[in-house]
C-alpha cells in the first residue's frame, strides 16, 4: 500500500511559508484569531501489510477528535475526508463530548466528504484521482484559501494535494522523510549527542548484515540483536535474532536465525525488503525492568520545539515489538530525563527544516543499582499512535502539558489515561458501530465534563470488520484510568454474550 507522485518542491516550499500565519489553528486549545479551514486527511500513506486492508478506512477516523476544535473557536471550519462513509451518529457522539454548545451551529462549520472507495490504497491517492473532489475541496476553501491540510503523514501524495488545494501542510517536506527512517533516526540522534543503543545503520543485504553482527559482537556483550527495516511501522518491520557466533553463515543459515514480529511475512520476503529499503541492527537492550516510553513534539515554522506529552508505550505481539497502546504520563522514574534529549533531537530536526508533529521512542532499562538508562531508538516524523490520545485529552480539558512537571493538570488534578486502538474480543465483531454507540450510551461510558474524567471512544467502524475498537480512558490516577478501561471492556464483553 504505497504510492508516490512527483511534486514541485519549490512551489511546495513557497506554500509552506504560509504556515507561520496558520500555526495557531493547530494549537490545542485554539485561541480564536484568523479564520481557518482545517482539511483533515488521515491517510495511511506508508507501507502496510495487506492484512490491514479491512481496517484502513476505520483508521481514517482516528482524528475525529479534531471536531472538538469547532467548540474552541468560532473562527474554525473543518472538512473531514474519508475513504468510506462514516456512521452518521459518530459526529453526534463527538459533539456530545463537549456539552454546552449549539450542535447545529457546530455542524454548520463541519463538512464530511466520503469517497465510497474502500480499496487498499492511500486515501490521498484516491482524492488526487478525483478532480471533482479536488474541485469541491477548493470551493470549500474559498477564492482566497485560508486553510491548513492536516494529514497523518506527509508523503509526496500529501504535498501534491496541498499544491492542488493551495494550502500548506501541517507537516514536513517529504524530501526530509529519510530523517524518520531507522537509519536516519540514528544519524539524527548521533548529531544531537544523545544516548543510543549500540548498532549499525545504513545496511542493505546479507553481507552488510553479517558485518554489522560481527561489529556489534565486538563492541558489546549482548546475545541478541534487533534487525529493523528502515520504513517499518509499529514494530512490524522488526526481527530479533541471536548473534551467530564466530562461524561464517551463508544466506539461508543467517535468514533462518531471524524471528519475525510480523508472522504473516516470510523470512525471505523480510530480507528482500531489508535489501531493497535498507535497515539497521541494534543491540537488544535488557535490564531488571524494561520500558518503552515516547515523547511527542511539535516543531513550529520558526524552529521552536515544544513537548506535547510523554507516554509509556504498551507493546505486544510475538516478540513484544508491536505497538498496541499507551499510558500517560510516562513513568516518573525516567520521564523527566527524556525531556532535554528530546528537545535536542527536536532542535536538530528543526535545523534541517522539519516542522509539525513528531515523536521519539526510547527504551528505558533499569540497572541493578536501581538507576535508569534511556536510549533513543526511533523517530516518527509524523503523527503516531500516541498523538490522537494526547490531543484528545488536551481538546477535552483545555489544558496544556507541563513538560517541567511531566503532568497535565485539569480541574485541579493531574490527569492520567490508558489508550489503545486494540480493545479486542472475538465477539465484538457481532456489533455494528450503531450497536457500539448504543452500548456506550446505555452504560454511561461517557465523558464527565465536571470532573474531566471518563472515556472517549474512536475507531467505531473497526468493530464490525475487525472486532476491535479504540478508546482513551481518562482518570485522576493510573488506577482510575485502568478501572475505566476495564469497565468499558467488561461492558462490551457482556453486551456481546448472547
**Average pLDDT estimate for 432-449:** 96
Q: Predicted confidence band at 4 (pLDDT cuts at 50, 70, 90)? A: confident
pLDDT tens digits, residue range 161-176? 999 999 999 999 999 9
Q: Predicted confidence band at 488 (pLDDT cuts at 50, 70, 90)? A: very high
Return the SS3 of 324: strand
Which class for 226: exposed (0-12), middle (13-18), buried (19 or more C-beta within 10 A)?
buried
Domains 9-171 and 296-495 belong to one CATH topology = no
Residue 327 sits at the vertex; the CA angle it makes with 409 and 148, to the nearest 5 degrees, is 75
Architecture of domain 9-171: 3-Layer(aba) Sandwich (3.40)
CA-to-CA distance for 302 and 297, rounded, in angstroms?
14
Main-chain dihedrals φ then ψ at residue 220, nearest 5 degrees = -135, 175
Q: Give the per-residue pLDDT at 3.
A: 67
- CATH class of the 198-283 domain in this structure: alpha beta
CA-to-CA distance for 97 and 448, rounded, in angstroms?
8
Per DSSP, the residues of 431-449 read: --HHHHHHHHHHTT-SEET
User: Beta 293-299 vs 356-366: how paired, if at all?
Assistant: antiparallel
Looking at the chain, the whole-number percentage of residues with pLDDT higher than 70 is 97
Q: Give the per-residue pLDDT at 246.
A: 66
Residues ≥6 apart with Cβ < 8 Å to 28: 69, 72, 391, 394, 395
Task: Tell me which of 3.30.470.20, 3.10.580.10, 3.30.200.20, 3.40.50.970 is the CATH number of domain 296-495.
Answer: 3.30.470.20
Domain chopping of the chain, boundaries? 9-171, 198-283, 296-495
Crossing angle of helices 89-96/433-442, nearest 10°?
30
Whether the Cβ atoms of residue 193 and residue 340 lie closer than 8 Å to each other: no
**pLDDT at residue 99 greater than cutoff 70:** yes
Looking at the chain, the whole-number percentage of residues with pLDDT higher than 90 is 82
Which class for 114: exposed (0-12), middle (13-18), buried (19 or more C-beta within 10 A)?
middle
Q: Give the per-residue pLDDT at 59.
A: 93
Q: Give the per-residue pLDDT at 31.
A: 44
Mean pLDDT over the full length of the chain: 93
What's the grid cell of residue 29?
A: 486549545
User: Beta 147-151 vs 224-229: how paired, if at all?
Assistant: unpaired
DSSP 8-state class, residue 29: S
What's the grid cell of residue 40?
A: 483533515
Return the SS3 of 173: coil
Amino acid at each position: 500500500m504505497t504510492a508516490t507522485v512527483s511534486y514541485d518542491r519549490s512551489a511546495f516550499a513557497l506554500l509552506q511559508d504560509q504556515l507561520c500565519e496558520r500555526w495557531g489553528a493547530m494549537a490545542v486549545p485554539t485561541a480564536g484569531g484568523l479564520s481557518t479551514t482545517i482539511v483533515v486527511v488521515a491517510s495511511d500513506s506508508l507501507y502496510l501489510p495487506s492484512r490491514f486492508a479491512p481496517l484502513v478506512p476505520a483508521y481514517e477516523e482516528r482524528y475525529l477528535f479534531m471536531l472538538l476544535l469547532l467548540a474552541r473557536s468560532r473562527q474554525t471550519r473543518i472538512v473531514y475526508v474519508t475513504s468510506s462513509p462514516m456512521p452518521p451518529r459518530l459526529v453526534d457522539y463527538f459533539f456530545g463530548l463537549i456539552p454546552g454548545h449549539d450542535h447545529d451551529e457546530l455542524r454548520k462549520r463541519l463538512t464530511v466528504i466520503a469517497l465510497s472507495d474502500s480499496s487498499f490504497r492511500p486515501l490521498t491517492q484516491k482524492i488526487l484521482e478525483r478532480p471533482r473532489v479536488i474541485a469541491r475541496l477548493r470551493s470549500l476553501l474559498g477564492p482566497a484559501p485560508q486553510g491548513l491540510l492536516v494529514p497523518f503523514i506527509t508523503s509526496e501524495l500529501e504535498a501534491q494535494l496541498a499544491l492542488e488545494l493551495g494550502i500548506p501542510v501541517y507537516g514536513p517536506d517529504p524530501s526530509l522523510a529519510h530523517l524518520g527512517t531507522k537509519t536516519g533516526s540514528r544519524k539524527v540522534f548521533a548529531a544531537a549527542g544523545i544516548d543510543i543503543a549500540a548498532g549499525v545503520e545504513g545496511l542493505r543485504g546479507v553481507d552488510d548484515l553479517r558485518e554489522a553482527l560481527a561489529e556489534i559482537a565486538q563492541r558489546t556483550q549482548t546475545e541478541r540483536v534487533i534487525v529493523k527495516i528502515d520504513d517499518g511501522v509499529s514494530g512490524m518491520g522488526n526481527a530479533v535474532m541471536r548473534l551467530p557466533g564466530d562461524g561464517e553463515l551463508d544466506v539461508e543459515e543467517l535468514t533462518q536465525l531471524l524471528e519475525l514480529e510480523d508472522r504473516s511475512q516470510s523470512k525471505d520476503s523480510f530480507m528482500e525488503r531489508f535489501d531493497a529499503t535498507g535497515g539497521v541492527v541494534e543491540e537488544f537492550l535488557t535490564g531488571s525492568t524494561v520500558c518503552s516510553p515516547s515523547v511527542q513534539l511539535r516543531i513550529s515554522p520558526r524552529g521552536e520545539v515544544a513537548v506535547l506529552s510523554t507516554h509509556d508505550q504498551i507493546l505486544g505481539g510475538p516478540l513484544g515489538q508491536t505497538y498496541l497502546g499507551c499510558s500517560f504520563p510516562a513513568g516518573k522514574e525516567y520521564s523527566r530525563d527524556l525531556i532535554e534529549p528530546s528537545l535536542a533531537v527536536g532542535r536538530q530536526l528543526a535545523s534541517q527544516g522539519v516542522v509539525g508533529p513528531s515523536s521519539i521512542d526510547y527504551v528505558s532499562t533499569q540497572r541493578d543499582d536501581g538507576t535508569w538508562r534511556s536510549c533513543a531508538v526511533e523517530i516518527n516524523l509524523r503523527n503516531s499512535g500516541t498523538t490522537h490520545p494526547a490531543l484528545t485529552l488536551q481538546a477535552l480539558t483545555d489544558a496544556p502539558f507541563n513538560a517541567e512537571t511531566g503532568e497535565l493538570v485539569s480541574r485541579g488534578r493531574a490527569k492520567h489515561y490508558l489508550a489503545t486502538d486494540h480493545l479486542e474480543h472475538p465477539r465484538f465483531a457481532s456489533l455494528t458501530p450503531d450497536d457500539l454507540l448504543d452500548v456506550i450510551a446505555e452504560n454511561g461510558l461517557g465523558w464527565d465534563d465536571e470532573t474531566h474524567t471518563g472515556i472517549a471512544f474512536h475507531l467505531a467502524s473497526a468493530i464490525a470488520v475487525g472486532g476491535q475498537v479504540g478508546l482513551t480512558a481518562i482518570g485522576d490516577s493510573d488506577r482510575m484510568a485502568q478501572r475505566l478501561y476495564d469497565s468499558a471492556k467488561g461492558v462490551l464483553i457482556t453486551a456481546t454474550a448472547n
